[in-house]
Amino acid sequence: MTPWWQARVGLTSYLSNSVAWAHSRAMRRVVDAEWEPTVPALVQMVAVAGAPRLRAAFAAAGLDGIRPAQAVALVPLVAGGLHASDLADRLAVSRQAVAQAIAALERHGYVSRAANPVDARTRIIELTPRGRQALRVMRSNALDLEKRWLQTLGQRRFDELRKIMQALLEAESGAG
């Protein structure tokens, strides 16, 4: 029997959207009319808001069977194939999460598993040409998003945003 959390193909992205929305609604009830979402909640909401455009970009490119949450697993593979545990470490997620994402990506032709030349007991996950195409779509979509943000913020504020996000990423990377 399939576990309930695997029953829906889009369950993980559905849950991400639901959690962001529920957090927003719950916090409004807890706090008075002066309520504002936390900065981490805003970052999550911005990330979730971009998923429909990426899904549409994948569809327009003829790339089916890939969700934005799964597509993130392709990024570390650009530099070359990785063992599943190394991919999990780079993504800072569980090995089980990587195994599920890779199974779906392999089923749709975005990655393949090859024999590990160093250890015959293990397999290396590699990008396929279709996986590289998905990465090009992701990059193009991200650059379009940056252009929209630049138009919204202006050059000075956009540059500040980039520096702030880099500083926060660096601080969080060292906080572990």
Query: How do residues 109-134 score in pLDDT, each as one tens digit?
Result: 999 999 988 888 889 999 999 999 99
**Residue 2 pLDDT more than 50?**
no
Contacts made by residues 60-63, CB under 8 angstroms, sequence distance 24+: 61/133, 61/134, 61/137, 63/130, 63/133, 63/134, 63/137
- Tokens (6 digits) for 92: 């800072």
For residues 3-17, average pLDDT: 39
For residues 36-65, average pLDDT: 93
* Helix (H/G/I), strand (E/B), else coil: 106: helix
- Report the candidate in 151, 16, 147, 144 with the shortest Cα–Cα distance to residue 72: 16
For residues 99-113, average pLDDT: 96
Domain extent listing, the chain: 14-49, 50-175
**Residue 83 pLDDT more than 60?**
yes
Half-sphere exposure of 65 (CA within 13 A, CB side): 13
Mean confidence (pLDDT) of the chain: 84
**In this predicted structure, which of 7-16, 25-34, 51-60, 79-88 has the lowest mean pLDDT?**
7-16
Q: Is CATH 1.10.10.10 the classification given to domain 50-175?
A: yes
pLDDT of residue 35: 79
Beta-bridge mates of residue 113: 125
Give how far Cα 74 sits from Cα of 30, 31, 45, 108, 139, Å: 39, 40, 22, 13, 12
Q: Residues with Cβ < 8 Å from 132, sequence gap 6 or more?
A: none
For residues 38-45, average pLDDT: 92
Q: Residues with Cβ < 8 Å from 174, sequence gap 6 or more?
A: none
d(CA 112, CA 133): 14
d(CA 147, CA 153): 10
Higher-confidence position of 176 and 5: 176
How many percent of the chain have pLDDT more than 90? 67
* Helix (H/G/I), strand (E/B), else coil: 101: helix
**Residue 173 pLDDT more than 90?**
no
